[in-house]
Amino acid sequence: MVSSFVKLPFFLSIFALLFTYSVYLLQLFTLGDAYMGWLLISIVMGSALLFSSTHPKSWMNRRSVMNTFLVLNTLSVGYGTFLALGMLRPYSSILSIIGYLLVAGIVIGIYATSLVREPSANAKVLHGFTITIGIALSAGTLYFVYIFYLFSEEGNSETWKLFVPLGVYGIVYIIQMKALKIQRTKVAYSIAAIQILIPVVLMLLWKSLAAGEGIL
């Protein structure tokens, strides 16, 4: 059972890359839209997850790093699913269903990677809490970027700011896992309290950008 969960990130990375190429090419040839930025980011994220899952001795195979890649892949695949919804049928139906299933698989992979091999009950609770914050933050970031993309009248040059909280979360998560590894439990739980504030920062940042664009 454990070995199956260990292999899960490998299969998820393969399917994520195939999904990315499929959505991009169909968008390009059926609608004439080339989402090059999303394509490059998704390829980098999928390739990073593939590398980390196939090199067990690499620092990229550490649980905190792999989970960060999984969360980022959730974001890229989720955005790809939004793109798939805008396609013509039957492409939209097929690819959106695949996208939803892939996002669900990545979420399962995140929890499995963190909890299956964790012997301590307290550590499992902390991992579960932290991962839930990360997934909620990823979903919120994806939603706000999508809304900003739909209603912004002056381009989307400011959207990168919405990814800052997610980047901060990734850095804080890695620090938290290192603290937990060296038995600095109080530090790890203190960091968890900080992580609660990151979605609030995302919301405030979204309101600031949306007000500047006249969306709110």
Q: What are phi and psi of 86, to 5 degrees?
A: -90, 5
Note the pLDDT tens digit of each residue in 146-205: 777 777 665 556 677 778 888 888 788 778 777 777 777 778 778 888 888 888 888 887
109 vs 9: CA distance, rounded Å: 6
**Number of CB atoms found within 10 A of residue 7's CB:** 11
b/e code 22-37 from CB counts within 10 Å (16+ = b): bbbebbeeeeeeebee
The 10s digit of each residue's pLDDT in 3-60 is 555 578 888 889 999 999 999 998 888 888 778 888 898 999 889 888 887 876 666 5
**Model confidence, pTM:** 0.67
Determine the Cα–Cα distance for residues 40 and 158; give it in Å rounded to an integer. 19
The amino acid occupying position 148 is: F
User: Where exactly are the structural domains of the chain?
Assistant: 1-117, 119-216
